[in-house]
Each structure stands twice: as structure tokens, then as C-alpha cells.
Homo-oligomer: A and B are copies of this chain.
Amino acid sequence: MNDVTVIKIGGNIIDDPVSLQKFLHSFSKEKGARVLIHGGGKKASELSRTMGVEPRMIEGRRITDAATLEIVTMVYAGLINKNIVAQLQSLQVNALGLTGADLNLIKARKRENAQVDYGFVGDFVTEDVNTGQLSRLLENGITPVFCALTHDMHGSLLNTNADSLAAGIAIALSEKFNVHLHLCFEKPGVLRDAENDKSVILQLDKNEYLSLKSAGKIFEGMIPKLDNAFKAFDKDVDVTIRHALNNSTGTKLIRHE
């Protein structure tokens, strides 16, 4: 079985052109099949404010009304995605910029929630990933670059969480490939003490995660990130949580011994 590396990068790298260039340079040197998934960064909120649409977040999730969907489509699928593609091409990586609508790669359903109307936000399951089409791209030496938009198969794009997208793609590809998932963020790994960047937990199993969570040591945005990470790990995906510019350290998920 062939190896595929799925790397997710977030706003901290995207918002800084120098860091992004450094990351893409190191990404271009990696061997083998790769999939890149990128988040949004500050640009969408900035553009939103310029256009008089005040960004609304509930528990770290962007409420995506029709105007916001237009904005994230412009920023994620246009500006960020295509600039990454152009830069990767200049580094000899045969990149292809994608949403889930392209080639019907990832369909999703609009999130229904009795308490909160998230708007045009989509969730998907493993079966919604078009693994055949995605595999063909990889087998043809193409590097898919996804922004975190899916579609509903009725003509509408849907905003989707980038960590969930990365984990979902990794799980779907694990049916055919030996998948390595790297969830990159602004820290060098999962920290035992959120205030101390030197406290990286090098190996984390589910029991330790659950006990750190109940002790309040792991909190906020790290919880959905790790839930996504363990979901992929449970499907035999090799998972590392690290800084985008530091491949030598990070947290590896391991089985409980």
C-alpha cells in the first residue's frame, strides 16, 4: 500500500506571506503523494468588515449567512487557494486547487441545529468523500490543494471546518493508502501546560487525552482538533499535531499500552 501525507495548515501560516512561503518550500521537498488542506486566516474577517458584514462566531465556529458564504468563497477558494497553487507550481509541485464541489470530491449536508442557525455550514461523513476520483488525482502525480468548502449537490457551497475536512479526507484515503495526517497549528504540539511551549506531549494516547481534558489542561479549540485527530487515528491513520514550520517535533497519537 502506498503512502499519502495529508497536511492541514491554519490561519497563522496563511496570514504571514513569509511563513507561508517557507512552509510551501518545505512541502515541495517532501516525497510521495500529498494532499494540502488550508484554513482561512484573518482575511475573511477583514474583508467581511470592509464590506460591512460583522463576522459572528459561536464557540469558535463562523456563522455563515449568504453574504458570509460569498466572502469565504472569495477568500478561501479564490485568494488563498489559488495563490498557494501558483506558488506550488513555481516550486515544481503539480498543484490543483479544489473545493469539495470540484469533481464532486466532497459533498456535505447543511448542519441542522435546533439551538443555533449556523447558516451555510456543512458536515460530511466518510462516504461523502469521492475516494475514487481523489485517488486518481494522486495516482496521476497531482497534488490536491483543498480549501474548506464542500457542496450540497443542489448548487450551493457549504463552509466546513478545515480540521474536520482534513481528518475526513485522511480517513477516506486510508481505505486505499497508508495515510499520515499532520494537523498543523500555531504551537509546537499538544502542550501539557498551555502557557509553556516547551511542554509538548510527544506521545498521546486516548486515555491521557481524556484525563487531561477532564483536568481542564486541554481546552477550547484543542478539543475539537483532538477529537478529529483521534477519529482519524481510530481508522489507522498515523496522526501528528505540530507547528507547520517544525517537522522535527510534535505530538504523535499512540495506542494506549
Let me know if B77 and A70 touch, CB within 8 A.
Answer: no
On whether A83 and B73 interact (CB within 8 A), knowing A90-B154, A94-B103, A154-B90, the answer reads yes
Contact of A95 among B89, B97, B102 (CB under 8 A): B102
Could you tell me the distance between the alpha carbons of A101 and B73 in the complex, rounded to whole angstroms? 18
A82 at the binding interface (Cβ < 8 Å) = yes
A47-101 contacts to B (CB < 8 Å): 47, 50-51, 70, 73-79, 81-83, 85-87, 89-90, 94-97, 99, 101
Let me know if A157 and B104 touch, CB within 8 A.
Answer: no
Let me know if A85 and B99 touch, CB within 8 A.
Answer: yes
The A contact surface, by secondary structure, is helix
Could you tell me the distance between the alpha carbons of A40 and B175 in the complex, rounded to whole angstroms? 41
On whether A82 and B103 interact (CB within 8 A), knowing A50-B50, A74-B75, A89-B151, the answer reads no
Let me know if B78 and A79 touch, CB within 8 A.
Answer: yes
Among residues of B, the one whose C-beta sits closest to the C-beta of A97 is B102
User: Which chain B positions have C-beta within 8 A of A101?
Assistant: 82, 85-86, 89, 95, 97
User: Which chain B positions have C-beta within 8 A of A78?
Assistant: 73-79, 81-82
On whether A157 and B51 interact (CB within 8 A), knowing A96-B103, A104-B89, the answer reads no
A contacts, CB < 8 Å to B: 47, 50-51, 70, 73-79, 81-83, 85-87, 89-90, 94-97, 99, 101-104, 136, 140, 142, 149, 151, 153-157
